[in-house]
């Protein structure tokens, strides 16, 4: 905490709500036209903060337009005044990109989907999952692969659990903050079957994390999709 100006003192304590730190600055008397007094606070975000967490800093200036007349004086007579302001900061969040290798395919063709998640530096990700929902009539065909960039030690990302059209990857460990941006890329094959119902099958993927470990009320997610076009398949009939 840095104070510039004369006749100023500060007191630092927990705020009444218990959710932050209260800094009280006794600036003394401020005369009209006098040199400005500045309170500069340098704060550091908690090292355990989850990606996407937001913090709001509030300031209030309280004073009087008349000097005190003694113990019997009242705030109403002195003309009490209060003005406030606030500033907010938010940690960066993850981003996700979903793509497919073939923009148009016939029934029976195999396509390869790729999910790339980018994690910003200096942010934690708790209780992480990847989810992918295949279009109706498109089935998971395996050939699962994972690659990483920017990691000192790669996290464990195994085969997805498959439930109907839903694929889920659950990371067994949290992703701790790092000094640089990192990526996780997951790819797999899927087959377009005759059960497909859309002319442009849409596949979407979601990366989900908690800002506070074990607290789903702080859950955040990023979603992207990939669209393909179903080609008309040929049906040959022989009449006898």
Considering the entire predicted model, what is its pTM? 0.75
pLDDT per residue of the chain (240 residues) written in tens, 0 to 9: 444 444 455 556 555 555 677 777 777 777 777 666 677 777 778 788 889 888 888 887 777 777 777 767 776 766 666 778 888 888 889 999 999 888 788 888 999 999 999 999 988 999 999 999 998 889 999 999 999 999 988 888 889 999 999 999 988 889 998 889 999 999 999 998 887 877 777 888 999 999 999 999 999 999 998 876 665 543 333 333
Pairing type for strands 229-230 and 104-105 reads: parallel
* C-beta pairs of 23-29 under 8 Å, 24+ apart in sequence: 29/67
Pairing type for strands 138-149 and 182-192 reads: antiparallel
Residue 182 forms beta bridges with which residues? 119
CA atoms within 13 Å, Cβ hemisphere of 123: 21
CB 201 within 8 A of CB 137: yes
């Amino acid at each position: 905490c840095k104070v510039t100006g004369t006749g100023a003192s500060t007191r630092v304590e927990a705020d009444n709500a218990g959710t932050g730190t209260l800094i009280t600055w006794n600036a003394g008397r401020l005369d009209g036209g006098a040199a400005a007094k500045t309170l500069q606070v340098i704060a550091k975000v908690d090292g355990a903060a989850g990606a996407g967490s937001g913090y709001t800093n509030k300031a209030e200036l309280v004073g009087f337009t008349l000097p005190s007349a003694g113990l019997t004086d009242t705030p109403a007579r002195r003309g009490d005044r209060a003005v406030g302001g606030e500033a907010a900061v938010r940690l960066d969040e993850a981003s996700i990109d979903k793509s497919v290798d073939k923009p148009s395919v016939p029934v029976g063709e195999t396509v390869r989907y790729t999910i790339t998640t980018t994690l910003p530096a200096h942010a934690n990700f708790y209780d992480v999952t990847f989810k992918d929902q295949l279009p109706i009539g498109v089935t998971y065909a395996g050939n699962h692969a994972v690659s990483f960039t920017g990691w000192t030690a790669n996290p464990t990302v195994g085969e997805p659990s498959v439930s109907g059209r839903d694929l889920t990857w659950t990371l067994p460990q949290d992703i701790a903050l790092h000094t640089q941006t990192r990526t996780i890329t997951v790819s797999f094959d899927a087959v377009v079957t005759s059960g497909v119902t859309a002319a442009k099958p849409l596949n979407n993927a979601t990366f989900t994390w908690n800002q506070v470990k074990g607290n789903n009320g702080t859950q955040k997610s990023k979603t992207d999709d990939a669209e393909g076009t179903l080609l008309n398949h040929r049906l040959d009939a022989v009449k006898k």
